[in-house]
Amino acid sequence: MRRSAISGFAKKAREFLGEEGVLQEEVDLLVYEQDGTLALRGKADVVVFPRTVQEMAKVVELAYNYGIPIIGRGSGTSLSGGGVPVTGGVIVSTARMNKILEIDLENEVAVVQAGVINDWINAYLARMGYQYAIDLGFQYMADPGSQRVSTIGGNIAHNSGGVKCFKYGVTVNQLRGLTIVLPTGEVRRIGGKEFEQAGYDLIGLITGSEGTLALVAEAIVRIVPTYESSVTILAKFADLPTAGRAVSAVIASGAMPVAMELMDKLAVEAVESGPYAAGLPKDAEAVLLIQVEGSLPGAKEEASKVAEVLRRSGASGVEIVEDPARAAKIWAARKQAFGAMGFVGPNYVVEDGTIPRKKLAEALMLARAAGAKRGLRVANVFHAGDGNLHPLILYDERKPGEREKAIEAGEEILEACVELGGTITGEHGVGYMKKKLLPKMYRREEIELMKAIKAVFDPKGLMNPGKIFP
């Protein structure tokens, strides 16, 4: 039944998407078996590439009528297995929906198709002195860390964040309007260019819903004038708990950094072993990277105050980085930290949990212990300002059982995050990898309420099945 439904679907989709708009060959489908989640695979039956809202609507309607699962796909950088077709079905790729449709400076918004790459908006706006609101327009300093690859549609589906969320908030805070395609193929426009909307917050509902309610076809995103200057501060610490306490001290001082990132010794070793080495101190147990912004004199003054707080909080060294080229190099090193893990271990599982900031040190020690008791090393690179941890559990998939141990350690770390008063995801979504942990965070009634909302949008359960709900 499924086989004939797929061939019927593919034949009809080719009529309006063209030969190149529908992939069915084994070798082509292989590319879509995985995303950024190295520990998970799943096989799609067909991949389609609409170019417009109308084509996306037609293709979704067709799949819905045939009863085929529908999985949205941006650039496939999800770290929770969000876009992996675990039940098979049709992948709707936004790779050809890659146009910036309008820049409206009066309303300070950009209208973009879902497949536009996050960083393209900045590249386009740079000459106008504007930037995507979540972004500083500073190369390697845009959010999320995957901004040069990931799509706006994917960012919306996961409600992505990044280093600057401490000041600017996450993706949902940058959205004014969305064009979505419901599972039936009906198109709905929600929000608009204006600031305030009455009634239920439908943008908030769709954002972070991981493609389980509807597909995002277009978005109206906030843009803001680019800040005049920014200054980077680099501090090193002899132990993790002191670094954790220094983060809280900076915030309590009333300073408002745009970014506060922490890297532990193993993470520093990884980046300093590769092409993005930036002279980060390898002898430190923890390195804190902070950025402040404003007019140049204002940013410099703020940087001096922050440096003083760090010294008083026990930093063993503090440097205010005046040279913009060196600052860019330091942030590039931070941004490349995940990729650099290859220098210290062949494979890794990256987790994404949050904890109340004052529990930072405790959570980091628990993360290390969860790895150590299974004979695995854990590196930490994370958004310290908003208590968003990213433990990277290193393993070697050539050694039988290590992958499973790494996944187990990751789950133990996320459970510890919840016990410390945090969550199982700060920005990477629940996806497939963390769905069994959802009951650790929510009561049964709350999960039932979420499922009831899904049923309103997707009564046949065809949108990204197998994700979020255990």
Kindly state the helix (H) or strand (E) to which residue 331 belongs, with its residue range: helix 324-335
- 335 contact partners, CB below 8 Å, separation of at least 6: 140, 141, 145
Q: Torsion angle of alpha carbons 348, 345, 316, 143, nearest 10°?
A: -40
Min CB(284)–ligand FAD separation in Å: 23
The nearest distance, CB 202 to ligand FAD, in angstroms, is 14
Report the nearest approach of ligand FAD to the CB of residue 307 (Å). 25
- The distance of closest approach from Cβ of residue 35 to ligand FAD in the complex, given in angstroms and rounded to an integer, is 5
Q: How far is the CB of 50 from ligand FAD (least distance, A)?
A: 10
Q: For the window 398-437, what string marks contact with ligand FAD as x by the rule CB under 6 A?
A: -----------------------------xx---------
- Return the number of the residue (135 or 411) whose C-beta is nearest ligand FAD: 135
Among 49, 77, 411, 434, binds ligand FAD (CB under 6 A): 77
Q: Does 232 help bind ligand FAD (rule: CB under 6 A)? A: no
Rounded to 5 degrees, φ, ψ at 381 are -135, 120
* Widest pairwise Cα distance in the chain: 70
Instruction: Work out whether 73 is an interface residue with ligand FAD (CB under 6 A).
Output: yes
Which residues from 207-226 bind ligand FAD, rule CB under 6 A? 210-211, 215-216
CB of 322 to ligand FAD, least distance (A): 26
Q: Is 321 in the site for ligand FAD (CB under 6 A)?
A: no
Question: Of 26-34, 147-155, 297-305, 308-316, which part binds ligand FAD (CB under 6 A)?
Answer: 147-155
* By the rule CB under 6 A, 177 interacts with ligand FAD: no
Closer Cβ to ligand FAD, 62 or 114, answer by number: 114
Compare residues 158 and 368 and give the one whose CB is closer to ligand FAD: 158
| Cβ atoms 153, 72 nearer than 8 A | yes
Q: What are the angstrom distances between the C-alpha of 131 and each of 122, 142, 164, 220, 260?
A: 5, 10, 13, 14, 20
* C-beta of residue 468 within 8 angstroms of C-beta of residue 447: no
Q: What are the Cα distances from residue 164, in Å, to 37, 135, 292?
A: 23, 7, 10
Contact in structure between 64 and 185 (CB atoms under 8 Å): yes
Site for ligand FAD contains 388 (CB under 6 A): no
Instruction: Give the whole-angstrom CA distance, residue 210 versus residue 205.
Output: 10
Tokens representing 260 are: 């506060």
Contact 123, 148 (CB under 8 A): no
User: Which CB atom, from 55 or from 143, has the smaller least distance to ligand FAD?
Assistant: 143
Q: Counting contacts by CB under 6 A, is residue 64 touching ligand FAD?
A: no
The mark string for 245-284 relative to ligand FAD (x by CB under 6 A, - otherwise) is ----------------------------------------
Helix, strand, or coil (residue 256): coil
DSSP 126: G
In the chain, count H helices and then E strands: 16, 19
For ligand FAD, which residue of 21, 50, 85, 145 counts as binding (CB under 6 A)? 145
Using CB under 6 A as the criterion, what x/- string covers residues 105-134 for binding ligand FAD? Answer: ---------x--------------------
Instruction: Tell me: does residue 79 bind ligand FAD (CB under 6 A).
Output: yes
Least distance CB 157 / ligand FAD (angstroms): 3
The answer to whether 434 touches 353, Cβ cutoff 8 Å, is: no
Are 378 and 391 contacting, i.e. CB atoms less than 8 angstroms apart? yes
Size of the site for ligand FAD (CB under 6 A): 38
Shortest distance in whole angstroms from residue 376 CB to ligand FAD? 20
Decide if residue 50 touches ligand FAD (CB under 6 A). no
Amino acid at 412: E
Provide the minimum distance between the beta carbon of 96 and ligand FAD in the complex, in angstroms, as a whole number: 12
CB distance 152 to 114 below 8 Å: yes
Q: Which of 78, 174, 179, 347 binds ligand FAD (CB under 6 A)?
A: 78
Q: Which of 83, 177, 183, 281 binds ligand FAD (CB under 6 A)?
A: 83
Residue 174 engages ligand FAD in binding (rule: CB under 6 A): no
371 is a site residue for ligand FAD (CB under 6 A): no
CA 47 to each of CA 17, 32, 42, 84, 328: distance values in angstroms, whole numbers, following the listed order: 11, 8, 13, 12, 38
- Cβ pair 95, 41 in contact under 8 A: no
Phi, psi of 205, deg, nearest 5: -70, -45
Q: How far is the CB of 97 from ligand FAD (least distance, A)?
A: 8
**Minimum distance, C-beta of residue 309 to ligand FAD, in the bound complex (Å):** 25
Q: How far is the CB of 221 from ligand FAD (least distance, A)?
A: 13
Cβ-in-10-Å burial (0-12, 13-18, 19+) of 264 comes to buried
Spatial contact of 320 and 231, defined as CB atoms under 8 Å apart: yes
Closer to ligand FAD by Cβ: residue 144 or 353: 144
In whole angstroms, what is the distance from residue 178 CA to residue 191 CA?
6
Q: Two tokens at 444?
A: 């049964």
Which amino acid is it at 282?
A: K
The footprint of ligand FAD (CB under 6 A) covers 35-36, 71-79, 82-83, 94, 114, 143-146, 150-151, 153-155, 157-158, 160-162, 210-211, 215-216, 338-339, 427-428, 464
